Chain A
């Protein structure tokens, strides 16, 4: 089964990682275009359609050489099968399928969100189920109860914009650079978070859902009435905006932790790298007696290490998927369902029969 090669191409990043025999991360390579974007001075081109195709070979080769192994050594190959963009997912999964067919390796198609969910535990033998997870990124804001491997329930989610998008679009309205979340985090450190009263979406509503579009409107209104904040006022406004986002996330997380009596709390996804969010969650963890689990910074944003970790956990249970496993752009987190093979697919599953995933 090891070394296990994992590939992630669900959206913007082309990434590959290699897991060793103890489930440890031997290498993790992310080909990001973030430096290219910074040149544009705003939120701009984040993706190039051909970038996955152009990058994947080099990224995989780099992950293998960093891990000190070659394609001939591999014991298993895995790739993200959803959720994400169909075209992007196909590049990674097809590459993995080609490799699995050519070298007669077991293949696993992995849920990208499950990767984020379990990212804090990469390198450890087993995640501490059950736990409550807040998955926060540019595209996702979800509260998930994780009872076991493949046994997940989404109990809260955003109704409009994700938390990462609130950072990004807030930064855009404030005329700040890209990536917005990083710039706001930096400017906020010199700002007064109590300076501006901005809305905490859904705070007074029952349930565990989030909403950040009202916050975006509030920032727009402020800029219309007062112009774009400058100097120390800019720092204060950024700190207030950041506080509103963190507050909204924390409020529902605390409520859910109490509702389901959870004391192991996971905060994961790109926004989990935000320094204020980390500090505030730690404060509340101390008050509530939580054990807080956060991925290391390099595993917060999209990466293949988290995909490899999930694949290793599943492979060790004997799971493997058909070589004709289809991508699933709308894949959600929930109870396990076996991946659907493509109807009439050219690739047939190998001699080893497919083991259905356990529900």
Chain B
């Protein structure tokens, strides 16, 4: 069965951060967000919004973990911001403390998650960001998480109005990657 996904467009970085901040309102302990999408699609930008939404103060920089591999922030929950971009194999995830953290404590948000989908727990919420002309398309597979119920109600500050979320059956990101 093809899983159910919700999709809408994001006009810019501000809308991408706003989505992150709104998702932050409903995530809980042990939750995992797997981010997918090409370079410059807004993955780190989404994480900035998520961290602010979880109460990480503005003066704490939320940066790309590509080279540092794992950044940690303290918000209403601990946040582990990881990046699989430089990983060569699943075995190397060990060095990120992947098994100790992801899905067990705090909120984990992982960039380039679709490189190694088998690492992720079943309850992972998958979020794909893609370029759509000058805009972005976001697709979320909420699974059985709290997000499933509220996603369609999330309104984003797109200039020119919010395009409603639409539900569709869509293969998981790593199944439809070109």
B7 at the interface (CB under 8 A from A): no
Pick 8 A–B contacts, CB within 8 A, sort by A: A43-B86, A47-B69, A47-B95, A138-B66, A160-B48, A160-B64, A162-B67, A168-B66
Closest 7 CB pairs of A and B: A45-B88, A138-B67, A139-B67, A49-B94, A49-B95, A220-B40, A139-B68
The answer, yes or no, to whether B148 is at the interface (CB within 8 Å) is: no
Interface centre among B88, B91, B96 (most CB of A within 10 A): B88
Asked if A88 and B95 sit within 8 Å, CB to CB, the answer is yes
Question: Using an 8 Å CB-CB cutoff, how does the interface string of B78-102 with A read, 1 for contact, 0 for none?
Answer: 0000000111110111111100000
Please tell me if the beta carbons of B89 and A45 are within 8 angstroms of each other in the complex.
yes
Knowing A46-B86, A161-B64, the reply to whether A217 touches B92 (Cβ < 8 A) is no
* A173 in contact with B39 given A137-B67, A165-B64 (CB within 8 Å): yes
Asked if A87 contacts B95 (CB within 8 A), the reply is yes
Q: Check if A49 sits within 8 Å of B92, measured CB to CB.
A: yes
Residue among A40, A49, A217, A224 with max Cβ neighbours from chain B (10 Å): A49
A9 to B156, CA, bound (A): 43
Provide the residues of chain A in CB contact with B89, threshold 8 Å: 45
The answer to whether B69 touches A165, judged by C-beta atoms less than 8 angstroms apart, is no
When the two chains form their complex, are residues B87 and A161 in contact, meaning their CB atoms are under 8 A apart?
A: no
Tell whether B149 is near chain A: CB-to-CB under 8 Å.
no
Closest residue on chain A to residue B70 by CB atoms:
A85
B131 at the interface (CB under 8 A from A): yes
Cβ of A139: which chain B residues have Cβ within 8 Å of it? 66-68
Instruction: Give the interface of A toward B (CB within 8 A).
Output: 11, 40, 43-50, 83-88, 137-139, 157-162, 164-165, 168-169, 172-173, 213, 216-217, 219-220, 224, 329-330
Structural contact, A216 and B40, CB atoms closer than 8 A: yes
Q: How close is B59's CB to chain A, nearest CB, in angstroms?
A: 10
Asked whether B146 is an interface residue with its Cβ less than 8 Å from the other chain, the reply is: no
Given contact pairs A43-B85, A43-B86, A45-B92, A11 touches B67 in the complex (Cβ within 8 A): yes
B9 adjacent to chain A (CB < 8 Å): no
Residue in A85, A157, A330 whose beta carbon sits within 8 Å of that of B96 in the complex: A85
Q: A162-B63, A213-B45, A216-B39 are in contact. Are A87 and B97 (CB under 8 A)?
A: yes
- Set A45, A87, A164, A329: member contacting B87, Cβ < 8 A: A45
The answer for the CA separation of A165 and B66 in the assembled complex, in Å, is: 8
Of the residues B67, B92, B96, contact of A165 by C-beta under 8 Å: B67
B108 CB, nearest partner CB in chain A, Å: 14
Q: For the complex, what is the distance from the CA of A43 to the CA of B83, rounded to whole Å? A: 14
Question: Which residues of chain A are within 8 angstroms of B69 by Cβ–Cβ distance?
Answer: 11, 47, 85
Chain A residue at minimum C-beta to C-beta distance from B74: A330
Q: How many residues of B contact A (CB 8 A)?
A: 29
Does the CB pair A47–B92 fall under 8 Å? yes
Q: Name the contact of A11 in the complex, choosing from B64, B68, B72 (C-beta under 8 A).
A: B68
Interface mask (B131-157 → A, CB under 8 Å = 1, otherwise 0): 100000000000000000000000000
**A219 neighbours in B (Cβ, 8 Å):** 40
**Residues on B with beta carbons closer than 8 Å to the beta carbon of A87:** 94-97
In whole Å, how far is B52's beta carbon from the nearest beta carbon of chain A?
Answer: 13
B176 at the A/B interface (Cβ < 8 Å)? Answer: no
* Contact residues in A for B92 (Cβ distance below 8 Å): 45, 47-49
Compute how far the CA of A273 lies from the CA of B56 in the bound complex, rounded to whole angstroms.
34
Which one of B44, B67, B88, B95 contacts A160 once the chains associate, using CB atoms below 8 Å?
B44
CB contact list, B15-72 vs A, under 8 A:
38-40, 44-45, 48, 61, 63-64, 66-72
Selected contact of B86 from candidates A45, A157, A160, CB within 8 Å: A45
Report how far A37 CA is from B157 CA in the complex, Å: 42
B44 contacts A161, CB within 8 Å? yes
Cβ contact within 8 Å between A220 and B39: yes
Q: Is A213 a contact of B44 with CB atoms below 8 Å?
A: yes
Given A45-B88, A47-B86, A220-B131, the answer on whether A162 and B64 have CB atoms closer than 8 Å is: yes
A201 to B134, CA, bound (A): 19
Whether the pair B88, A159 counts as a contact (CB closer than 8 A) is no
> Given A46-B86, A46-B88, A216-B39, are A159 and B94 also a contact pair (CB < 8 Å)?
no
* CB-based contact B88/A48 at 8 Å: yes
A208 to chain B, nearest CB (A): 13
